[in-house]
Amino acid sequence: MSERQGTAGRPVLELVDVGRHFIQGDNQLSILDGANFTLNAGETVALVAPSGTGKSTLLHLAGLLERPDDGDVIIDGEACGTVSDDRRTAIRRSEIGFVYQFHHLLPEFTALENIMMPQLISGLSKAEAAERAEQLLDYMRIGHRADHRPSELSGGEQQRVAIARAVANAPLVLLADEPTGNLDPETAGYVFEALDALVRQSGLSAVIATHNHDLASLMSRRVTLDDGKVVEV
């Protein structure tokens, strides 16, 4: 499986004085307010914070799914706060992988085809996409389920396919929002171990939001959100 090459320790994702605000009636609700955060190459960072404090908002901003109201998001040295929508889409496609609490697999396609899809969109040939998809499924220990559709897979298998799909294009940064939140503790532990091993083997940098402190303790460092700011734990 190909690895993403990079210089260990260099910033690959930066949030600089980021603010995200919403209007509720006559009041402004600040989800993030002057938030600063740096993810370095090769790091795995756990984002541990109570529900409603802005974890998903932070990940959406970091993944260029939303624009900050203040500050900037920098991906691999490129300031992205004011770039065009087309450029943001291109950066997301090549540099960022997403894993959510629910797998969001395409139900009409097999596990193999789900992992091939983002590669085909990026211009790889069908043969190349299939080869990498098979490698990823084998790495996640579900190669024998390649021809099964999502409805035929267990929850843990579905999430492992989703993880494989997220890294299929060898992104620079992986963002995961409670990736084991819908799984029982034993399955969650196994899926997280597979995710952690894949991240480290591939040379990815990752921010993983989780409520599970045992899983969080396995990562390089932990951060939380306090009064709209990112704070080291």
pLDDT in tens, 45-62: 999 988 878 899 999 999
For the chain, the first-to-last Cα distance in angstroms comes to 33
Least confident of 49-53, 165-169, 221-225, 226-230: 49-53
Sheet containing 27-40: which strands, arranged edge to edge? 27-40, 11-24, 70-75, 78-79
Q: 199 near 220, Cβ under 8 Å?
A: no
Q: What is the pLDDT of residue 58?
A: 94
Report the 10 Å Cβ neighbour count for 21: 14
Q: What is the pLDDT confidence band of residue 8, given thresholds at 50, 70 and 90?
A: low
| 4 is a domain residue | no
Q: What is the pLDDT of residue 87?
A: 94
Range of the structural domain that residue 30 is part of:
10-106+163-232
Give the contacts of 87 (CB within 8 A, at least 6 positions apart).
80
| 111 is a domain residue | no
SS3 144: helix
For the domain that residue 197 is a member of, what is the CATH number?
A: 3.40.50.300
| 97 is a domain residue | yes
Give the whole-number percent of the chain exceeding pLDDT 90.
57
Q: What is the pLDDT of residue 4?
A: 52
Give the contacts of 5 (CB within 8 A, at least 6 positions apart).
203
Domain count, the chain: 1
Half-sphere exposure of 146 (CA within 13 A, CB side): 15
Over residues 133-187, the pLDDT tens digits come to 999 999 888 999 999 999 999 988 998 899 999 999 889 999 998 887 777 888 8
| 157 is a domain residue | no
Over residues 54-85, the pLDDT tens digits come to 899 999 999 999 999 999 999 999 999 889 99
d(CA 156, CA 194) in angstroms, rounded, equals 11
pTM of structure: 0.87
Q: What is the pLDDT of residue 33?
A: 93
Q: 22 near 33, Cβ under 8 Å?
A: no
Q: What is the pLDDT of residue 212?
A: 81
Strands 44-47 and 221-226: parallel
Beta strands in the chain (DSSP E): 11-24, 27-40, 44-47, 70-75, 78-79, 96-99, 173-177, 205-209, 221-226, 229-232
| 115 is a domain residue | no
88-to-48, 74, 98 alpha-carbon distances in Å = 27, 11, 15
Q: What is the pLDDT of residue 1?
A: 52
| 58 is a domain residue | yes
| 181 is a domain residue | yes
| 145 is a domain residue | no
Please state, rounded to an integer, the average pLDDT across all residues of the chain: 88
**Mean pLDDT, residues 15-24:** 91
